[in-house]
Amino acid sequence: MTASAQAGQRYTPLEMLARLVAFDTVSDKSNLPLIDFVEDYLAGWGVSSVRFPNETGDKTALFATVGPQDRGGVVLSGHTDVVPVAGQAWSRDPFTLHVEDGKAYGRGAVDMKAFLALGLALVPDFLAANLKTPIHLFLSYDEEVTCLGVVDGIAAMGKTLPRPRAVIVGEPTMLDICDAHKGVRTFQTVVKGFAAHSSKPQLGASAVHAGALLAAELDHMAEDAKQRPDTSGRFDPPYDTIHIGTFHGGIARNILADRSELLWEIRTVPSSDPEAGPARFAKTAEKVLSRMRSTAPSSAIETQMTSDVPGLAPDPGSEAERLAMRLSGRNHTIAVAYATEAGHFQQAGLPTVVCGPGSIDQAHQPDEYITLEQLAAGEAFMRKLMAECQAG
């Protein structure tokens, strides 16, 4: 649909949610059809937007401003990608919104296309309000896999884009205000050994044995982390966690493995040093590699960080926190166990909170849903934001 065809097109939040859910934006697919729709819809209301594509051009973030263009306002940020549905027992088409018994079902309905639908559906009202403080809409990609879809747009804020006063990342929190979450770094470690007959291990180096030593060190690190709990009492569990997701290697029982691979992660509380764990692992890898090279000089251990999602640290009294409290009617903040894009905004010096409609308990599940009650509460939140920005 072209911009001219959409000129003046209005949607209720539920109708907009249905449009967004209909786009299959699982993270391994392009989000361009959804972005094309949103861009055209905004253009139909005279709202221009800026794209921030990835290197291959098959995905892009989108930034748009409703209201004054010469100043920073409030960013409503949400990701367009969703998790896969493959292997899940859905009772209905996951990409067709289905409303029943006070719930709207569909992949991404709560995580987090409902927040985007609310912001987009209310664009005509934002425009009619003659805002003194602008409302910025920021749609990202790849949140479910790397959280890197926001970084180019954030880098432009204060340069080619206005620098915002506050950022609200609309992950589902039941409209509670989250001011803290753990950071997460993910890693791939590849161990290259040298194959030999298992009867003569001195002629090679087993990548599986080396990988097992590295896995054991990660387990030791995980146990040691329990002895350094976060004192805030806000996290469950209250310490850094270290997890090995996969460990593969070897081709036969009687052959020294020439390759193994570990995929692992570290989730850190805001008070922890995110560099400490990887540094300790690297020292152990050096010792293991030295042992391997004593019999197989060509051995190697290579670790690559595959994602780096910074944690969100409490910022009491920030403009984002005070604004969200007024809009939601809450007088306290929460911490959550999952990671979001909020840490990237905070690292750029932008006051940021996480606050959105719906429950994270329904996210990533078959028959994912948001209640119509929460959707209505989210609309009330947005209309209070509109009133605040109208007043200046």
Q: Which domains does the chain have, with CATH numbers?
A: 4-181+311-391 (3.40.630.10), 183-309 (3.30.70.360)
Which pLDDT score is estimated for 8? 78
Compute mean pLDDT per 10 residues along the chain, 392 residues long, and list them.
61 98 98 98 97 98 97 97 97 98 98 98 98 98 96 98 97 98 97 98 98 98 96 93 97 98 96 95 98 98 96 96 97 94 97 98 97 98 98 89
Kindly give the pairing relationship between strand 103-105 and strand 98-100.
antiparallel
- The tokens of 138 are what? 């920021």
**Tokens 């263009």, located at residue:** 69
Read off the amino acid at residue 127: L
Between CA 128 and CA 1, with CA 42 as vertex, the angle to 5 degrees is 130
List pLDDT tens digits, range 83-99. Answer: 999 999 999 999 999 99
Residues 6+ away with beta carbon under 8 Å from 322: none
pLDDT the model gives residue 127? 98
What is the model's pLDDT at position 4?
Answer: 42
CA pair distance 149, 347, nearest whole angstrom:
15
- CA 111 to CA 207: how far, in whole Å? 40
Helix (H, G, I), strand (E, B) or coil at 181: strand
pLDDT digit string, tens, across residues 1-13: 444 446 779 999 9
Place of tokens 């970084």: 151
What are the residues whose beta carbons fall under 8 Å from the beta carbon of 280, sequence distance 6 or more?
A: 217, 221
pLDDT the model gives residue 6:
60
Q: What is the pLDDT of residue 392?
A: 84
Tokens matching residue 95 = 């990409």
